[in-house]
Amino acid sequence: MNGVLLEPLGRHEKHLWEARPGAEGGRKARRGGTYEAFVPAEIAECRFVLDDGAVTQIASATKALARLNGASPHTASLGALADVLMRSESVASSWIEGLEVSQRRLARAAFAAAEGSSRDSKALEILGNVEAMRQATELGASEGAISVEHLREIHRTLLRRSSDRRIAGVIRDRQNWIGTNPYTPLDADYIPPPPQYVEPLFEDLCRFVARDDLAPVAQAAIAHAQFENIHPFMDGNGRVGRALIHVVLRRTGEAPKYVPPISLVLAAAPKAYVAGFGEYSGGDVSSWCEHFSSATERAAIEAERMGSQIDELQEDWLGRLGSPRADAAVRRLIAELPSQPVLSVATGSHLIGRSGEAARNALLQMETAGIVQPLNERKWGRAWECRELLELTEEFEQSVRAG
């Protein structure tokens, strides 16, 4: 597959779908016929030549990523701001798959899960996406090649809290498809390759990710589209495919501190996002890379704005607290609060590495200043949440989603 790619990035294969007289789903589900599955081309050794529009947009996205990753928060720790962006990315990635919860609900579920008491199944499933994104970022920062097993492990993490945990990490051994009819592929919008092609294509994709001769933003765009075309799992492909973006951008050094919430921008125009995969499959890699890099640039700009807003909010909090000294427990808790906006004395103590008594006093000071609000009035096991931060994050997501 060496050479310039000017033709479709794959081929269609006809297959027979046998009639199923006793199947559920009505007459359409029971009928047989032929369908065309798309078998992507291998890309590990392909040479991609992009047009001027794509090259220019990739350069703009690269500069925006550099500005974002060169910025240092005034008050929040690097990890705290990274966590905020990761949660927004994970929530948006789940939106695209029809799973939607608020940041407040997600934060409460995360706290309850840490306490071993969460029963919010939808929020827990999205929390699995947060954990998968975090794992993808750590994988990108690690040394060594990315393997199929690494991506299977991300899939396991994604689904471990869901009702689909039985298929977590399992590469599919049967045909799947994208469409409204779950019983037959005959009217599907997209039919990925039959199962015998999946593992070789998956391995080829990992070899592509190991390359170092491509602009990182373009490499992330191509890797993501190729993953979605392979569709190696029975469920969760979109979310793992978007986690792969984090792997590539971190691995290449393009986003050493922060990967912006690209899914948040892509989710704002879902039809254009899905259409981009068709452009890629048809060989128009330039159009897809231009679309993806435009989303990346906007995500980086918006993430930088979000960081500034958090800085302003934290500076206001410190003012309400009377500008505590640099080593005060309450100042340290303010710095880490964005990473865990719902917390208890125990979680606060762990977050800042101070005693329980120091964390309790800090939380009570913050409650008096109106920075955190109590979730319960129990004598033991009290919990607080930072509503201003959660509202800020939700407003940020809604403004980006609205375009």
Please indicate, yes or no, whether residues 317 and 299 belong to a single structural domain of this protein: no
Beta bridge partners of 36: 14
pTM of the model: 0.93
Report the chain's mean pLDDT, rounded to a whole number: 93
Looking at the domain assignment, is residue 66 inside a domain? yes
Q: Measured between alpha carbons, how far is residue 108 from residues 41, 102, 250 in Å?
A: 44, 10, 29
Residue 115: band (very low, low, confident or very high) from pLDDT cuts 50, 70, 90: confident
Asked whether the beta carbons of 196 and 37 are under 8 A apart, the reply is no
Looking at the domain assignment, is residue 117 inside a domain? yes
Please indicate, yes or no, whether residues 122 and 263 belong to a single structural domain of this protein: yes
Please indicate, yes or no, whether residues 250 and 149 belong to a single structural domain of this protein: yes
Of the candidates 132, 198, 196, 118, the residue with the CA atom closest to the CA atom of residue 165: 132
Please indicate, yes or no, whether residues 221 and 326 belong to a single structural domain of this protein: no
Please indicate, yes or no, whether residues 297 and 337 belong to a single structural domain of this protein: no
Among 289, 304, 319, residue at a domain's last position: 304
pLDDT for the residue 277: 96
pLDDT in tens, 204-259: 999 999 999 999 999 999 999 999 999 999 999 999 999 999 999 999 999 999 99
Among 251, 284, 304, residue at a domain's last position: 304
Please give the Cα distance from 34 to 18 (Å, whole number).
8
CATH code for the domain in which residue 396 is found: 1.10.10.10
Please indicate, yes or no, whether residues 14 and 120 belong to a single structural domain of this protein: yes
Of the candidates 298, 310, 313, 308, the residue with the CA atom closest to the CA atom of residue 401: 298
Could you tell me the two tokens for 78? 């690097």
Classified as helix, coil or strand, 190 is strand
**Burial (CB count within 10 angstroms: exposed 0-12, middle 13-18, buried 19+), residue 118:** middle
pLDDT for the residue 205: 98
Residue 78: band (very low, low, confident or very high) from pLDDT cuts 50, 70, 90: confident
Looking at the domain assignment, is residue 379 inside a domain? yes
CATH code for the domain in which residue 32 is found: 1.10.3290.10
Could you tell me the two tokens for 141? 């920062």
Beta bridge partners of 34: 16
Which segments within 247-396 are labelled E, that is strand? 342-344, 373-374, 383-385
Residues spanned by the domain of 241: 10-304
Looking at the chain, how many residues does it have? 403
- Please give the tally of structural domains in the chain: 2
Share of the chain above pLDDT 90, in %: 81
Q: Is the pLDDT of residue 330 over 50?
A: yes
Tokens 């991609």 correspond to 48
Mean pLDDT throughout 52-78? 93
Please indicate, yes or no, whether residues 139 and 275 belong to a single structural domain of this protein: yes
Looking at the domain assignment, is residue 5 inside a domain? no
pLDDT in tens, 307-324: 999 999 999 999 999 999
Q: Is the pLDDT of residue 76 over 90?
A: no
pLDDT for the residue 6: 59
Looking at the domain assignment, is residue 2 inside a domain? no
Beta bridge partners of 40: 10
pLDDT in tens, 135-175: 999 999 998 899 999 999 999 999 998 888 999 999 999 99
Of the candidates 397, 370, 398, the residue with the CA atom closest to the CA atom of residue 384: 370
Please indicate, yes or no, whether residues 313 and 226 belong to a single structural domain of this protein: no
Beta bridge partners of 373: 385
Please indicate, yes or no, whether residues 30 and 135 belong to a single structural domain of this protein: yes
Could you tell me the two tokens for 387? 């509503």
Q: Which residue has the higher pLDDT, 115 or 238?
A: 238
Among 281, 304, 327, residue at a domain's last position: 304
Which of the 8 DSSP states describes residue 161?
A: T
Please indicate, yes or no, whether residues 315 and 254 belong to a single structural domain of this protein: no
Please indicate, yes or no, whether residues 339 and 278 belong to a single structural domain of this protein: no
Please indicate, yes or no, whether residues 237 and 294 belong to a single structural domain of this protein: yes
For helices 237-251 and 78-96, what crossing angle results, to 10°? 150
Looking at the domain assignment, is residue 277 inside a domain? yes
pLDDT for the residue 1: 38
Asked whether the beta carbons of 311 and 74 are under 8 A apart, the reply is yes
Residue type, 368: T
